[in-house]
Amino acid sequence: MNQKDCPPLLAVKHLGVAFETDQGQVLAVDDVSFELTSGQVLGIAGESGCGKSVTALSLMRLLPKPVSKIKEGEILFKGQNLLDLSTDALGKIRGKKISMIFQEPMTALNPVHTVGRQIVESYSLHSPGMGEKEKIRASSQMLAKVGIPDARQVMKKYPHQLSGGMRQRVMIGMALACEPDILIADEPTTALDVTVQAQIMDLIFQFRDKTGMAVILITHDLGLIAENCDRVVIMYAGTVAESASVTTLFRNPFHPYTKKLLQSIPSRAQTAKEPLPTIPGNVPALSEMPAGCRFAKRCEHAYTPCEKHLPRLISVSSDHFAACHLAHSGGKKSNFNK
């Protein structure tokens, strides 16, 4: 079956997440929708503060409380809305069916337990029928697979006794030990050097090939997306700016923000002395979101409707969507009568 014809494993529909701030309630994520099928790798990209991580944490209902709240939308995992589940029912999915890895491994590792105890626990959760010796053997094999030498010795250590790179590998090993249906990887390799980065991504994709696991890769690194993803969602200021297959988005980007992001990827022809093109200005603060397009202040194509009306995501070609007023007029500025 073509991936496009598969029923979605995960469908996020019109997700809205609000935060309480000194200036009142603000929407950090607004009307975000996307789908994911088994075995698919979806990249979510954008600058810092564009809502990528808040979206990822919402999927696991891991947002800080009481300052944040999922205000609207649905998160359908195998057709079941995760937002309707009790904490106990969600606990059966979180870490088992859907696992998450973070840029900072100490977010996931318990500092007072040895690495061995923590990874063995992952196996206990996923495979309760497994014997103790079997779990220890599987744990050490998993640590070896994620590139940890002398795994049995490392299992006796506490997280603070390991380097950052080693901790990262342990966390990834723990997430994969559960053989999740979905792995959410939030900037998983940002803190690692390029060689280790490539090894970790390879490992994740070997698992994907073996188990059919789907992956959501959250990153500001479009190079990582181009190399590893099937589909990509570009976020800007809490909304989806553009969404398409990776091939379409890189060959034929529509949204002015996506075009600018692509121009800021270093090219091989770039010399060390040449400055990288950047996007002037900043993502607007949550408390100062304009009524119209959130990219308008930085967009060289902005015209009258952009200041007044927030563009919604519409189809610009087959399976390719953009939230830009130019999409209403085939890429040309036109009178806006909506």
Q: How far is the CB of 298 from ligand SF4 (least distance, A)?
A: 8
Closest approach of Cβ 30 to ligand SF4, in Å? 15
Letter for the amino acid at 293? C
Alpha-carbon gap, residue 281 to 30, rounded angstroms: 21
Of 202, 152, 203, 155, which is closest to residue 175 (Cα–Cα)?
A: 203
Give CA–CA dist 322/244, Å, rounded. Answer: 9
CB-nearer residue toward ligand SF4: 95 or 256: 256
CA distance 152 to 150: 6
24: buried, middle or exposed (CB in 10 Å: 19+, 13-18, 0-12)? exposed
Contacting residues toward ligand SF4, per CB under 6 A: 255-256, 293, 295-296, 299, 301-302, 306, 311, 324-326
| Shortest separation between residue 44's beta carbon and ligand SF4, angstroms | 19
| CB 213, min distance to ligand SF4, A | 35
Between 77 and 295, CB nearer to ligand SF4: 295
Cβ proximity to ligand SF4: between 97 and 312 the closer is 312
Characterize 259-274 residue by residue with b for buried, 16 or more Cβ atoms within 10 angstroms of its Cβ, and e for exposed. Answer: ebbeeeeeeeeeeeee
We find the least distance from the C-beta atom of residue 313 to ligand SF4, in angstroms, to be 12
Which lies closer to ligand SF4 via its Cβ, residue 69 or residue 320?
A: 320
Smallest separation (angstroms) from ligand SF4 to the CB of 256: 4
Residue 13 or 333 having the CB closest to ligand SF4: 333
Buried b (16+ CB within 10 A) or exposed e, 302-320: beebbeeebbebeebeeeb
Shortest Å, Cβ 315 to ligand SF4: 15
d(CA 296, CA 61) in angstroms, rounded, equals 32
Q: Which is nearer to ligand SF4, 174 or 237 (CB)?
A: 237
In the numeric block, which tokens belong to residue 269? 């022809």
Q: Strand pairing partners for 11?
A: 35, 76
Would you say how long the chain is, in residues? Answer: 338
- In the complex with ligand SF4, the residue whose CB is nearer, 101 or 306, is 306
CB burial of residue 121 (10 Å; 0-12, 13-18, 19+): middle
Beta carbon nearer to ligand SF4, 187 or 242: 242
CB of 309 to ligand SF4, least distance (A): 8
